[in-house]
Amino acid sequence: GQNIDQPTEMTATEGAIVQINCTYQTSGFNGLFWYQQHAGEAPTFLSYNVLDGLEEKGRFSSFLSRSKGYSYLLLKELQMKDSASYLCAFMDSNYQLIWGAGTKLIIKP
């Protein structure tokens, strides 16, 4: 079967670093995506990993280990505007996105 899991909620301090983990199980895999979704808005694309390793993009980095079915999103130098839900999703063998429930990130001053 397929499943994907991420924490429901996390809290971090402005200026700090936070890592949001995502684990998944699937027989067919075509990449792992991270999206950011602010309340009341549609998701926006953050990153895509299809090979193992770390992809860095400014303050945000995403890591993938296919053998472990594990990914994380790393946010550095946190800003208040980073308060949002972060959705991980993997693409299965049919190129369908399977979504996690999202992690609500709360940034405190």
Partner 1 sequence: GAVVSQHPSRVICKSGTSVKIECRSLDFQATTMFWYRQFPKQSLMLMATSNEGSKATYEQGVEKDKFLINHASLTLSTLTVTSAHPEDSSFYICSARRPGGVETQYFGPGTRLLVL
- The CA distance from 31 to 28, in Å, is 10
Total residues found in the chain within this entry: 109
Binding to partner 1 by residue 30, rule CB under 8 A? yes
Sequence-distant (6+) residues with CB within 8 A of 106 are 9, 10, 11, 12, 83
Instruction: Using CB under 8 A, pick the residue from 44, 52, 54, 93 that binds partner 1.
Output: 44
Beta bridge mates, 37:
85
Instruction: Using CB under 8 A, pick the residue from 32, 75, 78, 91 that binds partner 1.
Output: 91
Instruction: Using CB under 8 A, pick the residue from 1, 27, 45, 109 that binds partner 1.
Output: 45
Binding to partner 1 by residue 33, rule CB under 8 A? yes
Residue 33 or 63 with smaller CB distance to partner 1: 33
| Of 21-29, 53-61, 65-73, 100-108: span binding partner 1 (CB under 8 A) | 100-108
CB distance 97 to 33 below 8 Å: yes
